[in-house]
Structure 1
Amino acid sequence: MRKHKFVERFLLIFLFAVMFTIQCSTTGFGPQGGIFTSTKIGIHGISNTGAKTGSACTYSILGLIAFGDASVTAAANSVGIAKVNTIDLEGLSILGLFSKQCTVIRGD
């Protein structure tokens, strides 16, 4: 009986910990889904999309480890864009366990 109460308490604490930290690994921009998020948000645009498309991403795992460079400069350098026409953000998050945020630029 005592072991059953311990397991029950452990599961309850674990459930609250998961619920508390589920948003620790999110895209951080725009609407967030608790289970799954996949968004595309335009944040800048001055003309037609342009001939080249470049992207740069950051990643987060469990909200504990985050890495990457999603700057406009990194995205432009990835394909050699000198003039940026549009900037979009693309986000992906799965259960708060994995998150990816990309800056996508188009230009010439």
Structure 2
Amino acid sequence: MKQIKVALALVGITAAAFSLAACQIVASPMAGTTFNETKYGNIATAETATTKEGKACGTSILGAFAQGDASIVAAKANGGITKVTSVDHYAKNILGIYGEWCTIVKGN
């Protein structure tokens, strides 16, 4: 019985250490250390009639490896947009292991 308690304690300590080691952070106006999935607005114009939307994303693994182009320019190109009316952002973080950051551009 004592060996089981020791084993469970070691598993708990190891899990806590791994969760602290994966310090991958995705910028967001709200924080969620275990899980975060947020979409929020950043820039908008007075123009309300939009016909197109483009999205560009970058991803990160363990905060050690990151790739992608989440720029406004890439989102405009992906949506075939020439005139931007709003820029939103989307952030996702799962246990600090996987992170995603997207720029969403709307316009014509």
TM-score (norm 1): 0.81
Divergent runs of 4+, >4 A: 8-11
1:57-108, Cα deviation, whole Å (9 max, x unpaired): 0100111110000000000011210010000001111111111110001000
When the two chains are superposed, the root-mean-square deviation of aligned CA atoms in Å is 2.4
Runs (5+) with no aligned partner, structure 1: none
1:45 corresponds in structure 2 to 44
1:1-60, Cα deviation, whole Å (9 max, x unpaired): xxxx8xx67863x345324234x2232222121111110110000021510000000100
Counterpart of 1:28, as a letter, is A
Runs (5+) with no aligned partner, structure 2: 1-5
Q: Distance in 2 between matches of 1:95 and 1:10?
A: 17
Counterpart of 2:54, as a letter, is G
Paired residues in the alignment total 104
Q: Distance in 2 between matches of 1:97 and 1:25?
A: 7
2:3 corresponds in structure 1 to none
Q: Distance in 1 between matches of 2:49 and 2:93?
A: 26
Q: Distance in 2 between matches of 1:49 and 1:33?
A: 34
TM-score (norm 2): 0.81
Of 25-34 and 56-65, more deviation after overlay is shown by: 25-34
